[in-house]
């Protein structure tokens, strides 16, 4: 497949690097000369210097030959206009655009009415709202992901030194009587990712991902030593940009008491017109005296959602020290994610990863139902539909030759039945199968699962 990407930022780099590793022919259009040099060093793709608004540049980059066109510049209007050029020059190409304006739904309607066929419009802020809300009432849980329409849940916790699970092997935890439908799928240990086996042990400061069913989620929380709050009342939000406003609007609908901190006075005026119950405070929410004066001690959640990673990290650390039960930080730079975790900020959201996940899922559309990327691409959760000819169908899992670093986390039958499988489980045609895998094994896993060709891998 020939893929043309407009824009050479971090999202473009992640997508180009992944697609080129999967054997696709990738071209990236980027205007900044220094950024072009960086892309040439980092990714195996053809880099064309020029503006994504220039028809001549897009023609030089091969827009007429492209089978997929992905517009991910930092400017919404550029992305939409570039898709218009792609439609005119290559009508059959699949088109994807990232759009970050709060008028996202209006623009989707306008594009449809104008016959601008954009196959996928990605709005990362909406994805991040969906990521943040489920974790607010569970202070000890960093992330909650959903698969198979919400029937399968994946949550992560940080192993504290005094936690009862610290030092336990997978086998010991299994003997302790966990909920039947639960499985430890991944362990993040510093920069290392472990797809665990029976003898692997949980260590203090590990970030552990547990897969379970929607029905067993609360029981799994209790087994891992996590207490969910029956309700939350008070939330502080740092930053009055689109994401902060969207979160505040949703929390207002839930009847919570919210304070939103914004440095820009004019922005505060605008926010106060959009929010009806939220207290909008013109102040620097990274200052200790401000937070203390506003009674931060004991608040249920502190959400640092400015456009500045450093401010979000500093404010989150300060909020934890001042007594916030839950802190969430928006992180744009992916290389900051491991550092934030080491500092004790266990819940982070990334608009770049949200965009990458949505686009990768769409590029692999068909048998791939969802893609979730963890941290700096170290691991993925992939939801695949089992085809009739797959050699994974009809055999117990213990007999399958899986790529190293891959694990079957859940099986969802067409009837809706959910299995968190053990070795005797069998995948059937039409099942939705959720795999957890190291990034290095993604391509092998997809090829092995979806192909009818013989597999030559040894068991993990």
Q: pLDDT > 70: what percent of the chain? A: 97
Residue 453 binned pLDDT confidence (cut-offs 50, 70, 90):
very low
Task: Name, in order, each residue with C-beta under 8 angstroms of 443's C-beta and a sequence gap of 6 or more.
Answer: 21, 22
Write down the pLDDT at residue 367: 66
Q: Helices marked H in 189-282 — which ranges?
A: 217-223, 242-253, 265-274
Reading the block at residue 267, the tokens are: 């922005």
pLDDT grade, residue 229 (50/70/90)?
Answer: confident
Pairing of strands 432-438, 406-412: antiparallel
**pLDDT for the residue 364:** 65
pLDDT tens for 248-291 read: 999 999 999 999 999 999 999 999 999 999 999 999 999 999 99
Over residues 111-120, the mean pLDDT reads 90
SS3 of residue 202 by DSSP:
coil
Distances (CA, A) of 268 to 38, 124, 246: 38, 23, 15
Q: Which tokens in the block code for residue 152?
A: 């399968």
The DSSP bridge partners found for residue 372 are 381
Q: Indicate whether 230 pLDDT > 80.
A: no
pTM: 0.84
What is the rounded distance in angstroms from the CA atom of residue 430 to the CA atom of residue 179? Answer: 26
Identify the CATH number of the domain defined by range 140-223: 3.30.70.1450
* Domain pair 140-223 / 354-450, same fold: yes
The two three-digit tokens of residue 187, written as one number: 């362990």
Crossing angle of helices 124-132/242-253, nearest 10°?
Answer: 40
Q: For residues 343-347, give the mean pLDDT.
A: 85
The strand order across the sheet containing 379-385 reads: 368-374, 379-385, 432-438, 406-412, 418-419
Query: How high is the pLDDT of residue 62?
Result: 96
Q: How confident is the model over 405-433, as a mean pLDDT?
A: 92
Mean of the pLDDT values across residues 328-353? 88
Residues near 308 by Cβ (< 8 Å), separated by ≥ 6? none
As a whole number of angstroms, the distance between CA 154 and CA 235 comes to 24
162-203: pLDDT as tens digits: 999 999 999 999 999 998 889 999 999 887 889 998 899 999
For residues 356 and 124, what is the distance between their CA atoms, to the nearest angstrom? 9
User: Hey, what CATH topology would domain 231-349 get?
Assistant: Rossmann fold (3.40.50)
Length of the chain equals 460
Look at domain 354-450 and name its CATH class.
alpha beta
User: What mean pLDDT do residues 87-93 have?
Assistant: 93
Contact 260, 280 (CB under 8 A): yes
CATH of 2-122, one of 3.30.230.10, 3.30.9.10, 3.40.1160.10, 3.40.50.720: 3.40.50.720
Lowest mean pLDDT among 33-47, 398-412, 442-456: 442-456
Domain ranges of the chain: 2-122, 140-223, 231-349, 354-450
Q: Are 421 and 434 in contact (CB under 8 A)?
A: no
Say if residues 437 and 382 touch (Cβ distance below 8 Å).
yes
Could you tell me if 459 and 402 are in contact, meaning their C-beta atoms sit under 8 angstroms apart?
A: yes
pLDDT at 344 over 90: no
Kindly report the average pLDDT of the chain as a whole number: 90
pLDDT of residue 439 exceeding 90: no
Tell me which of 401 and 166 has the higher pLDDT.
166
Which pLDDT value is given to residue 365?
57
What do you get for the CA distance between the two ends of the chain, in Å? 31
Residue 215 is predicted with a pLDDT of 93
């Amino acid at each position: 497949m020939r893929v043309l990407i407009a824009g050479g930022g971090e999202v473009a780099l992640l997508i180009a690097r992944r697609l080129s590793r999967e054997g696709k022919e990738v071209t990236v259009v980027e205007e900044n000369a220094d950024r072009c040099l960086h892309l040439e060093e980092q990714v195996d793709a053809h880099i064309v210097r020029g503006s994504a608004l220039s028809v001549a540049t897009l023609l030089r980059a091969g827009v007429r030959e492209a089978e997929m066109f992905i517009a991910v510049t930092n400017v919404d209007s550029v992305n939409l206009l570039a898709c218009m050029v792609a439609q005119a020059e290559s009508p059959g190409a699949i088109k994807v655009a990232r759009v970050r304006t709060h008028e996202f739904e209006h623009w989707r309607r306008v594009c449809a009415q104008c016959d601008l066929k954009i196959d996928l419009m990605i709005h990362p802020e909406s994805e991040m709202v969906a990521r943040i809300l489920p974790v607010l009432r569970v202070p000890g849980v960093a992330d909650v992901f959903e698969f198979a329409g919400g029937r399968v849940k994946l949550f992560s916790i940080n192993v504290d030194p005094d936690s009862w699970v610290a030092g336990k092997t997978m086998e010991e935890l299994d003997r302790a009587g966990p909920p039947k439908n639960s499985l430890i799928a991944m362990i993040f240990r510093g920069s290392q990712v472990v797809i665990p086996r029976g003898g692997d042990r949980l260590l203090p400061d590990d970030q552990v991902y547990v897969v379970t069913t929607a029905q067993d989620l609360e029981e799994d929380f209790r087994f891992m030593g996590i207490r969910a709050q029956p309700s939350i009342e008070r939330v502080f939000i740092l930053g009055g940009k689109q994401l902060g406003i969207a979160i505040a609007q949703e929390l207002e609908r839930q009847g919570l008491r919210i304070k939103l901190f914004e440095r820009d006075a004019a922005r505060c005026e605008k926010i106060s017109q959009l929010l009806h119950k939220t207290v909008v405070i013109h102040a620097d929410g990274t200052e200790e005296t401000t937070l203390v004066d506003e009674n931060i001690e004991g608040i249920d959640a502190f959400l640092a959602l400015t456009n500045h990673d450093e401010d979000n990290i500093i404010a989150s650390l300060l909020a934890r020290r001042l007594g916030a039960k839950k802190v969430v930080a928006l992180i744009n730079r992916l290389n900051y994610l491991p550092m934030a975790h080491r500092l004790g900020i266990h819940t982070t959201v990334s608009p770049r990863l949200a965009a990458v996940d949505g686009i990768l899922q769409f590029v692999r559309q068909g048998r791939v139902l969802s893609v979730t990327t963890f941290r700096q691409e170290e691991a993925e959760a992939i939801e695949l539909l089992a085809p009739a000819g797959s050699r994974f169908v009809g055999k117990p899992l213990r007999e399958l030759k899986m790529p190293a670093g891959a694990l079957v986390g859940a099986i969802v039958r067409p009837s809706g039945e959910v299995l968190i499988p053990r070795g005797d489980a069998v995948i059937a045609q039409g099942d939705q199968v959720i795999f957890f895998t190291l990034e290095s094994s993604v391509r092998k896993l997809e090829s092995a699962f979806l192909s009818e060709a013989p597999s030559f891998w040894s068991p993990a």
